[in-house]
Amino acid sequence: MSKNLLQDMVRIKRSTQRSVPIKEKTKEKEKISNTIKENSGNKGSKYRIYFVALISVVFLLFALSFLFSGAKITLTPKVKEIPMKENLSVTKDGNLSDLSFDLMVIPGEESKTIQGGEEKDIAVTATGVVLVYNIFSSSPQVLDIDTRLEGSNGKIYKTNKKITVPGMIGNKPGSIEVGIYGASAGIEYNSTPLDFKIFGFKGTLKYSKFYARSKGEITGGFKGRSSVVSSLDKATAVSALKVTLKVKLLKKGTDQVPNGFILFKDAMFLNIDDRDIIFTPDKNNTVSVKIKGTLYGFIFEEKKLTKKIAQDIIDKYDGSEIYIPNIKDLTFSLSDKESVSFAEVADINFTLLGTPKIIWKINEEKFITDILGKKKKDLDQILSQYPDIDSVELILRPFWKTSFPEKSDSIEVIVNYPQ
């Protein structure tokens, strides 16, 4: 059998990869190694930059914390509410260091016209108010009711109550206010303001040393036929006028209270004498009704009254400065008010009733001085010297500080005074 020549042949497969010289391979390895090293160096530089930046920020924050360092202290003062019912006695214009009172005097008048009834013959005397002066001596002078005053218009008028004219004080005349009325009825006694002499002193040295002057006009005199108003209509009209006058004078009195003084709402009294109620017939069957009154108000210096209350109701009061925000809400009750002559009152007895809210005042400047540069741990000991402080809230900046700033400008103190 013949031999197949193709069977003994072997196909040799040639490689298509190009043979790289050894020198080129070495260069390529070195290039790769350098690239790796370069990348590794870049990463290390970035980390170093981040680290430096972080340290810088930390130092900046540390520096700013000292730049804005300080203390904020919130203080709550001591507060007590103590029920009280105190009976007090005070004099007018008393000792400068003691509680006293001043008297507020506010005159006023109101009028209205009412419809009259049937006509009748009526006679009404004119009325007014005068100030009587004493330049005779330092001794007081008593003038009885119905003392006759001779007016500069030649008419005789009479006083409507007994008075005592005070004596002179140095070169200052003594004076007192009193109502007057015409000796007879009629319009001829109506007048603009007049000067008066005391008729009973004529022919004596007192005649030129006692005199009187009108406060406003003298009005209301009438004699003849006119409409008559019933007693009920008169009473209704007078009652309404009293209410109107009281409201007006109370507001006026409240508005005129000096700063630093207190006028309790129950310490105002409207005095209207029946002789100051005037009915004057008008035309067209009407009658004019006029009332004159005076509001008297007892006012007290708030600091002195606050101190007096504290002395009376606080156990072992040490004289600390306090204030009472609701002091005006206390109830004022004047003793024996029916017997008090307001125009001449020199001393009064009264009761104060209620629950004053007593708040201690804190000396902020002294407190700041006491804590300058002190350790935070010493705060409790410092507070023991301030019984007027009830509680404290403290914020120190920066938070790791353990002592208070050395300068007062770096300390903020807030006092939470209740209303």
In this predicted structure, what is the pLDDT of residue 3? 44
At 59 the pLDDT is: 56
Residue 158: Cβ-neighbour burial (10 angstroms; 0-12, 13-18, 19+): middle
pLDDT-based confidence at 118, cuts 50/70/90? confident
pLDDT in tens, 330-387: 999 999 888 888 878 889 999 999 999 999 999 999 999 999 999 999 999 999 999 9
At 288 the pLDDT is 86
Q: How far is CA 409 from CA 43, 78, 368, 394, 396, in A?
A: 49, 26, 10, 16, 14
Residue type, 245: L
Q: What pLDDT, on a 0 to 100 scale, did the predictor assign at position 36?
A: 52
Examine the pLDDT at 117 and tell me if it is beyond 50. Answer: yes
In this prediction, what percent of the chain has a pLDDT beyond 70? 82
pLDDT score of 199 more than 70: yes
| Higher per-residue pLDDT: 64 or 28 | 28
Residue 43 has what pLDDT? 54
Kindly write down the DSSP assignment for every residue of 230-294, as one continuous string.
Answer: -HHHHHHHHHHHHHHHHHHHHHHHHHTPPTTEEEEEEEEEEE--GGGEEEEE-STTEEEEEEEEE
Question: Is the separation of the CB atoms in 319 and 127 below 8 Å?
Answer: no
Over range 79-108, report the average pLDDT.
Answer: 89
Tell me what pLDDT residue 219 has.
87
CA atoms in the 13 A half-sphere facing the CB of 345: 27
Find the largest Cα–Cα distance for the chain.
200
- pLDDT bracket for residue 34 (50, 70, 90): low
pLDDT band of residue 110 (cuts 50, 70, 90) is: very high
Q: What is the mean pLDDT of residues 69-98?
A: 88
Closest listed residue to residue 123, CA positions, set 228, 238, 33: 228
Cβ burial of 16 (10 Å; 0-12, 13-18, 19+) is: exposed
pLDDT at 62 over 60: no
The DSSP code sequence of 50-76 is HHHHHHHHHHHHHHHHHHT-EEEEEEE
Mean pLDDT of all residues in 100-105: 93
pLDDT at 216: 85
Closest CA relative to residue 412, chosen from 73, 65, 76:
73
CB 396 within 8 A of CB 377: no
The pLDDT tens digits of the residues spanning 272-298 come to: 877 678 888 776 778 889 898 999 999
Half-sphere exposure in the Cβ direction for 23 (13 Å, CA): 0
Q: For position 26, what pLDDT does the model report?
A: 60
| 35 pLDDT more than 90 | no
The DSSP code sequence of 136-158 is S-SS-EEE-TT-EEEETTS-EEE
Name the pLDDT band for 21 (thresholds 50, 70, 90): low
Query: In which band, very low, low, confident or very high, does the pLDDT at 218 lie, cut at 50, 70 and 90?
Result: very high
Q: Angle CA(160)–CA(296)–CA(141) in degrees, nearest 5? A: 40
pLDDT score at 330:
96
Q: Kindly give, in sequence order, each residue whose CB lies less than 8 Å from that of residue 51, ignoring residues fewer than 6 positions away.
A: none
pLDDT recorded at residue 95: 67
Give CA–CA dist 42/307, Å, rounded. Answer: 80
Identify the band that residue 151 occupies on the pLDDT scale cut at 50, 70 and 90: very high
How does residue 38 score in pLDDT terms, banded at 50, 70 and 90?
Answer: low
User: pLDDT band at residue 12, thresholds of 50, 70 and 90?
Assistant: very low
pLDDT at 10: 43
Cβ-based neighbours of 61, under 8 Å, separated by 6 or more: none
User: Token pair for residue 411?
Assistant: 């300390």
User: Which percentage of the chain shows pLDDT scores above 90?
Assistant: 59
Arithmetic mean of pLDDT over the chain: 85
d(CA 334, CA 267): 7
pLDDT of 14 strictly over 60: no
Task: Give the mean model confidence (pLDDT) for residues 174-185.
Answer: 94
Say what the pLDDT of residue 1 is. 42
pLDDT of 8 reads 44
CA atoms of 103 and 163, how far apart (whole Å): 19
